A and B are shown apart, each in its own frame.
Chain A
Amino acid sequence: MNAWELIIQQPVINALIVISHYLASNFGLAIIALTIIVNICMLPLTRRQLRSTKAMQDLQPRIAELQKKYAKDKQKLAQEQMRLYKESGVKPAGCFITMIIQMPVWIALYQSIMLSLAVAPEGLLNLSKYLYSWPVVYAALPLGREFLGMNLAEPSFILAILVGATMWLQQKMSMTTSSDPKQAQQSQMMLWMMPLMFTLLAMSFPSGLALFWASSSIVRIVLQYRITGWGGLRKAPSSEVEKDKKYLKFDESAEKSIEAGAADIIIADGEPSKPGKVRYQPGKDRSRRRRKR
């Protein structure tokens, strides 16, 4: 056994088997439980990553401004961006480093699930070398594959769809509208490509793995909500107001005194606003209107 197997895979596999044993020999529940446990263990890292990502997103408008301002001076642009990051306390590499640290844990978890499922006879034979000499571990194997009427060793269409949907939601939550059209286009592409790709993979691999992906996404959605809120899922406040707006054009004669010719009136709940609630467009002088009356 190599170091990776000894330090990472073996403990995770044995933990999965023990959890499964104590959860009524239900391997599906064991996958969900271990996903939650691992997420809780990595919470400090996840929190740091999410906050870092959020801070980066918040800086996007200012970065866009800098890009516009120093479009012809790349060196100055880089300097100004670094200064902005420093002032805001954001480390651009921070979220990537956190992701790199988390990656081996996710790969180990993923491999351990596949090994523990022991779908083929070779897999079961191979699994024997990872087992601790605890009676509970030996007695629990091979693990039951039934979960909610699904065979965890075979692909499941429903779980594949769930993987795609939860991944899309999570991606959408972590996405913000960029002022740069190219960047916005790329984000949109990633928003659809990643969930689509994982859906296809989930339709091809044992559904035990799809269950792991889906539960991971759900856990991350919950964590993300707790740490940064709904993020990209929340509608922009301005657009909400726009949706509820109705526009009425004032009679020409009533508008003689107003230079612009037309004014916006916000109608709440479909009812025209009272005269006192008339809101003028920016730049219009309310006192001048009163004087005319």
Chain B
Amino acid sequence: MTLKQGKRRAGMILLLVFMLIAIGLAGSGCVKGLAPIGWSGGAVSDGTLFVGSREGRLVAIDLADESRQWGDPLRTTAQGGGFLGCAPGAAGGGCGAGASGVAIYGTPVVSGELVYIAGYNGKIYAYTTDSLAMRWVYPREGNLEPIVGGVVIAEDMVYFGCSDGSVYTLDATNGDPLWKFETGDRIWSTPTVIDNTVYIGSFDKKLYALNATDGIKKWEFETEGSIITTPLVSNGIVYFGSFDRSFYAVNAADGSLKWKFMAENWFWAKPVILNNTVYAGCLDGKVYALKGDSGDKVTEFNMGSPVASSPVIVNSSIVYTSREGIVYVIDTGSNALSQLAVIEEEVYGPLAIHEGIVYIHTQDLALHRVNAINGAVLRTVSLKVPE
């Protein structure tokens, strides 16, 4: 081969490599949301905040001295990932995931001496709160479909919905399966358990009310869109939003419609209720204040960008964060909205509150802290494992 031929061949290979990189980047980089990253919120218990990090680990932060403890990384499933490891369908991060690890969407739940967490790898884990040692995992062998919603603990039972369309219940002490209820499509919603009833929404457009003891269906309510919001139950009424852009109130006893309110985009965040007024954040960038008994609109608050993050209640105020990272506070007495702080990071996950400090888990592997009273932005806590 002559020098000229060699150069030409090298040029050709270089061009092909460049094309390969360009296509790969266009696929995973430019198309946002291809890889599962996770948006776990924080749960505080005895001065320790537990959160699922983007690295796929349970992190325990002592809020007094900011010391951190990391659990073992959740393990990815064997399948999926594709030839070049770019496919996002399975548990792993994929090309665009940045910090690769199992995505954790559900907020950890603390009950007794255990902390529970659900992984996108289709497993439920129970760790001890003091040492983050794993107590049990379900299923012990293999994996379920990805779990996007969080877990709920009630009466020593763990409840969660799965992408395989089923609601599962486990024994909280050892992870043994108890009962399972199948819906018509994927479940990404976190259930709500109250008065021995499990309320959960499904992509099959229905909200289900199940007997918490044996999983027998009490009633179902059909909407015109998939349901992802965690239902809020208060005074015998179940409040939830749907992808049909409507916010619903149905009677908890029989599932009959009480009222519904139409917005301009999907409802994603869990609503809150204060003084008989329901506050529902919507992806149209607004928070709607609706009368709990009639659904009449009291007012609406413009947050400027979609509201996917579930809020927290601080005394008589509600703290919301828009996707663009602007922290707002709604004074429910005067129904006035004011900007509390700007953290300049995208926020998807639910907020956590402890002693007047709002904890916000962002996409940059950090936990931001904002004083809910004066809006002071405190030093962020990194969730990254030290090298």
Please determine whether chains A and B interact with each other in the same assembly: yes
Specify which chain B residues have a CB less than 8 angstroms from the CB of A127 in the assembled complex. Answer: 33
Specify which chain A residues have a CB less than 8 angstroms from the CB of B308 in the assembled complex. Answer: 125
Q: In angstroms, how far is the closest chain B Cβ from the Cβ of A279?
A: 42
Q: Which of B15-36 touch A at CB < 8 Å?
A: 16, 19-20, 23-24, 26-27, 30-36
Q: Which residue of A lies closest to B282 (CB)?
A: A128
Specify which chain A residues have a CB less than 8 angstroms from the CB of B226 in the assembled complex. Answer: 141-142
- Contact in complex: B148, A121 (CB < 8 Å): yes
- Contact in complex: B33, A123 (CB < 8 Å): yes
- Contact in complex: A205, B33 (CB < 8 Å): no
CB of B243 closer than 8 Å to a CB of A: yes
Specify which chain A residues have a CB less than 8 angstroms from the CB of B35 in the assembled complex. Answer: 120, 122
- Contact in complex: B5, A182 (CB < 8 Å): yes
- Contact in complex: B148, A119 (CB < 8 Å): no
Specify which chain B residues have a CB less than 8 angstroms from the CB of A197 in the assembled complex. Answer: 16, 19-20
Q: In angstroms, how far is the closest chain B Cβ from the Cβ of A147?
A: 14
Contact (A154, B83) CB under 8 Å given A111-B30, A119-B34, A120-B33? no
Q: Which of A172-220 touch B at CB < 8 Å?
A: 182, 186, 189, 193, 197, 200-201, 203-206, 209
Main secondary structure on chain A at its contact with chain B? Answer: helix
Q: In angstroms, how far is the closest chain B Cβ from the Cβ of A207?
A: 9
Q: Determine which of A122, A138, A201 lies in contact with B23 in the assembled complex, contact meaning CB atoms within 8 Å.
A: A201
Q: In angstroms, how far is the closest chain A Cβ from the Cβ of B120?
A: 8
Q: Which of B33-72 touch A at CB < 8 Å?
A: 33-37, 39
Q: Which residue of B lies closest to A127 (CB)?
A: B33
- Contact in complex: A119, B265 (CB < 8 Å): no
- Contact in complex: A154, B148 (CB < 8 Å): no
CB of B85 closer than 8 Å to a CB of A: yes
- Contact in complex: B26, A204 (CB < 8 Å): no
Per-residue CB contact flags for chain B residues 239-276 toward chain A (1 = under 8 Å, else 0) read 00001110000000000000000001110100000000
CA distance A203 to B103 in the complex (A): 22
CA distance A49 to B36 in the complex (A): 40
CA distance A170 to B183 in the complex (A): 45
- Contact in complex: B188, A121 (CB < 8 Å): yes
- Contact in complex: B27, A205 (CB < 8 Å): yes
CB of B289 closer than 8 Å to a CB of A: no
CB of A164 closer than 8 Å to a CB of B: no
Specify which chain A residues have a CB less than 8 angstroms from the CB of B39 in the assembled complex. Answer: 121-122
Specify which chain B residues have a CB less than 8 angstroms from the CB of A204 in the assembled complex. Answer: 82-87
- Determine which residue in B26, B88, B148 has the highest number of CB atoms from chain A within 10 A of its CB, and name it: B88
Number of interface residues of A (CB under 8 A): 41
- Contact in complex: A193, B245 (CB < 8 Å): no
Q: Which residue of A lies closest to B26 (CB)?
A: A107
- Contact in complex: B243, A153 (CB < 8 Å): no
Specify which chain B residues have a CB less than 8 angstroms from the CB of A36 in the assembled complex. Answer: none
Specify which chain A residues have a CB less than 8 angstroms from the CB of B188 in the assembled complex. Answer: 121
Q: Which residue of A lies closest to B28 (CB)?
A: A205
CA distance A161 to B225 in the complex (A): 36
- Contact in complex: B84, A129 (CB < 8 Å): no
Specify which chain B residues have a CB less than 8 angstroms from the CB of A160 in the assembled complex. Answer: 83
- Contact in complex: A118, B5 (CB < 8 Å): no
CB of A139 closer than 8 Å to a CB of B: yes
CB of A115 closer than 8 Å to a CB of B: yes
Contact (A120, B243) CB under 8 Å given A138-B225, A193-B16? no
CB of B203 closer than 8 Å to a CB of A: yes
Q: Which residue of B lies closest to A120 (CB)?
A: B36
- Contact in complex: A114, B34 (CB < 8 Å): yes
Q: In angstroms, how far is the closest chain A Cβ from the Cβ of B299?
A: 22
Q: Which residue of B lies closest to A115 (CB)?
A: B31
Q: In angstroms, how far is the closest chain B Cβ from the Cβ of A111?
A: 5
- Contact in complex: A200, B84 (CB < 8 Å): yes
CA distance A125 to B126 in the complex (A): 28
Q: In angstroms, how far is the closest chain A Cβ from the Cβ of B184?
A: 12
CB of A98 closer than 8 Å to a CB of B: no
CA distance A128 to B307 in the complex (A): 11
Specify which chain B residues have a CB less than 8 angstroms from the CB of A128 in the assembled complex. Answer: 265-266, 268, 283, 306
Contact (A155, B36) CB under 8 Å given A125-B308, A133-B264, A197-B16? no
CB of B348 closer than 8 Å to a CB of A: yes
Specify which chain B residues have a CB less than 8 angstroms from the CB of A153 in the assembled complex. Answer: 88-89
Q: In angstroms, how far is the closest chain A Cβ from the Cβ of B284?
A: 9
Q: Determine which of A115, A121, A141, A186 lies in contact with B36 in the assembled complex, contact meaning CB atoms within 8 Å.
A: A121
- Contact in complex: B33, A154 (CB < 8 Å): no
Q: Determine which of A111, A133, A189 lies in contact with B26 in the assembled complex, contact meaning CB atoms within 8 Å.
A: A111
Specify which chain B residues have a CB less than 8 angstroms from the CB of A154 in the assembled complex. Answer: 80, 82, 87, 89-90
CA distance A118 to B225 in the complex (A): 16
Specify which chain A residues have a CB less than 8 angstroms from the CB of B23 in the assembled complex. Answer: 201
Specify which chain B residues have a CB less than 8 angstroms from the CB of A118 in the assembled complex. Answer: 33
Q: Which residue of B lies closest to A119 (CB)?
A: B88
CB of B127 closer than 8 Å to a CB of A: no
Contact (A206, B88) CB under 8 Å given A118-B33, A139-B243? yes
CB of B8 closer than 8 Å to a CB of A: yes
Q: In angstroms, how far is the closest chain A Cβ from the Cβ of B117?
A: 16
CA distance A160 to B82 in the complex (A): 11
Per-residue CB contact flags for chain A residues 26-63 toward chain B (1 = under 8 Å, else 0) read 00000000000000000000000000000000000000
A/B interface sample: 19 pairs, CB < 8 A: A114-B31, A121-B36, A123-B33, A125-B33, A125-B283, A125-B306, A128-B283, A151-B89, A154-B90, A155-B89, A160-B83, A182-B5, A186-B8, A186-B12, A197-B20, A201-B84, A203-B84, A205-B27, A205-B82
14 additional A-B pairs beyond A115-B31, A154-B87, A204-B82, beta carbons within 8 Å, are A118-B33, A119-B33, A119-B88, A120-B34, A120-B35, A120-B88, A121-B148, A122-B39, A122-B348, A128-B283, A142-B226, A160-B83, A189-B12, A204-B83
Which 5 pairs show the lowest CB-CB distances between chains A and B? A123-B33, A203-B83, A204-B82, A204-B84, A154-B89
Interface residues of A (CB under 8 A from B): 107, 110-111, 114-115, 118-129, 131, 133, 135, 138-139, 141-142, 151, 153-155, 160, 182, 186, 189, 193, 197, 200-201, 203-206, 209
